[in-house]
Amino acid sequence: MAMKGYRWCAGIAALWLLTACGGGGDSGEVTALTKKQAQQALPDKQAMAGWREQAEPLAIKMEKIHREQACPSKGNAGCEKARYYGTSTFRRDEKPTDVTFLIITYDSEESARKAYDVLWDGYYGDRAGPEARTFDIGPVGDERDARFGSAGFKGEPGAVAQARVGSVVLWTLAAGLAKGTLEEDEVRDLTEVFVERAQQAHDGKTPSAALGD
Q: Which residue has the higher pLDDT, 117 or 17?
A: 117
pLDDT digits 0-9 by tens, 126-163: 999 888 999 999 999 999 999 999 867 788 999 999 99
In sequence order, what are the residues at sequence separation of 6 or more whose Cβ sits closer than 8 angstroms to the Cβ of residue 18?
none
Is 208 contained in some domain?
no
SS3 sequence of 155-191: CCEEEEEEEEECCEEEEEEEEECCCCCCCHHHHHHHH
Is 24 contained in some domain?
no
Is 36 contained in some domain?
yes
Is 189 contained in some domain?
yes
Query: Rounded distance, CA 143 to CA 150, Å?
Result: 24
In sequence order, what are the residues at sequence separation of 6 or more whose Cβ sits closer than 8 angstroms to the Cβ of residue 181?
95, 96, 97, 156, 157
Enclosing domain of residue 67? 4-19+29-202
pLDDT digits 0-9 by tens, 156-209: 999 999 999 999 999 999 999 999 999 999 999 999 999 999 999 999 999 999
Q: pTM to 2 decimals?
A: 0.86
Is 211 contained in some domain?
no
Based on the structure, what is the number of domains in the chain? 1
Burial class (CB in 10 A: 0-12, 13-18, 19+), 22: exposed
Q: Could you say which DSSP state residue 213 is in?
A: -
Query: Rounded distance, CA 161 to CA 122, Å?
Result: 14
Query: Rounded distance, CA 59 to CA 103, Å?
Result: 8
Determine how many CB atoms are found less than 10 A away from the CB of residue 136.
9
CA 107-205-197 angle, to 5 degrees, is 75
- Helix/strand number for the chain, H first, E second: 5, 7
What CATH number should be reported for the domain holding residue 101?
A: 3.40.1000.70
Is 85 contained in some domain?
yes
What distances in angstroms separate CA 180 from CA 7, 46, 173, one per listed residue?
19, 26, 16
pLDDT digits 0-9 by tens, 61-97: 999 999 999 999 999 999 999 999 999 999 999 999 9
Query: Rounded distance, CA 133 to CA 22, Å?
Result: 40
Average pLDDT for 20-37:
65
Is 61 contained in some domain?
yes
